[in-house]
């Protein structure tokens, strides 16, 4: 199989989805770690954001991240459309429904919702932080957003959707990369649940905490 055929094949597409997915999951871990500085106060958070912004490696990784997101979304939609063709056949569709979980059946929809969240999120934070000439503190931009009940709700709802997406994504990326077997899958599941709870509750606690405090 040449390279072109590999990326066109369904195995190839799954490998691309899984590797970009793992990359995005590592990003989430790093992103949450920086956000947790919000609990250490204004100076600590502003310094952490400043460090990330000035670091040349992080700056290069921002472009890799954007490319990773785009590839993950485009291949995800392509895989969904191709699968839909096969599932159009009635007996396959019934079998598919009973043999899969809610989170695996809804991957494309939770993915689209996360994309909508991401657009809103970048408008909320990245644009004012990068282009406000730093008159307003980064900490203040974050904290004041969560004073608004509408944004707090949208954010926490999005973290729930992210959790549903990661619930299938985590397990399935190990399988697609050929790293899972019967023995390992128990550990992958445990580690996956830990990861999922840390990410979803970590982000949610930030939003809820600053809604009620500060």
Is residue 161 at the binding interface for ligand HEM, with CB under 6 A as the rule? Answer: no
Bin 209: left if φ > 0, else alpha if -120 < ψ < 50, else beta: alpha
DSSP code, position 36 = G
Three-state DSSP class for residue 2: coil
Chosen residue from 126, 136, 160, 179 binding ligand HEM by CB under 6 A? 126
Q: Which of residues 27-46 bind ligand HEM (CB under 6 A)?
A: 31, 35
Bin 74: left if φ > 0, else alpha if -120 < ψ < 50, else beta: alpha
Residue 58 or 188: which CB sits closer to ligand HEM? Answer: 58
Residue 62 or 214: which CB sits closer to ligand HEM? Answer: 62
Instruction: Dump the DSSP string for 95-138.
Output: HHHHHS-HHHHTHHHHHHHHHHHHHHHIIIIIHHHHHSTT-S-H
Is residue 22 at the binding interface for ligand HEM, with CB under 6 A as the rule? Answer: no
Residue 15 or 138: which CB sits closer to ligand HEM? Answer: 138
d(CA 30, CA 191): 17
Could you tell me the end-to-end alpha-carbon distance of the chain, in angstroms, rounded to an integer? 59
Is residue 211 at the binding interface for ligand HEM, with CB under 6 A as the rule? Answer: no
Q: Which of residues 100-119 bind ligand HEM (CB under 6 A)?
A: 114, 118
What's the min distance (Å) between Cβ of 203 and ligand HEM? 4
Interface ranges with ligand HEM (CB under 6 A): 31, 35, 49, 52-53, 62, 65, 114, 118, 121, 125-126, 129-130, 142, 155, 162, 203, 206-207
């Amino acid at each position: 199989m040449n390279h072109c055929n590999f990326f066109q094949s369904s195995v190839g597409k799954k490998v691309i989805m899984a590797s970009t997915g793992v990359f995005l999951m590592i990003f989430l871990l790093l992103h949450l770690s920086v956000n947790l500085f919000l609990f250490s106060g204004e100076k600590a958070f502003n310094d952490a954001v400043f460090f990330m912004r000035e670091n040349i490696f992080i700056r290069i990784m921002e472009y890799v991240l954007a490319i990773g997101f785009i590839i993950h979304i485009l291949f995800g939609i392509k895989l969904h459309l191709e699968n839909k063709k096969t599932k159009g056949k009635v007996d396959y569709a019934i079998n598919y429904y009973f043999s899969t979980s809610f989170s695996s059946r809804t991957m494309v929809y939770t993915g689209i919702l996360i994309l909508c969240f991401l657009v809103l999120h970048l408008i909320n934070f990245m644009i004012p932080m990068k282009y406000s000439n730093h008159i307003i503190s980064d900490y203040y931009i974050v904290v004041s957003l969560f004073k608004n009940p509408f944004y707090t709700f949208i954010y926490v709802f999005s973290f729930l959707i992210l959790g549903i997406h990661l619930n299938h994504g985590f397990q399935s990326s190990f399988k697609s990369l050929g790293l899972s077997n019967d023995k390992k899958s128990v550990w992958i599941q445990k580690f996956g649940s830990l990861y999922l709870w840390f990410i979803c509750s970590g982000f949610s606690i930030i939003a809820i905490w600053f809604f009620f405090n500060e």
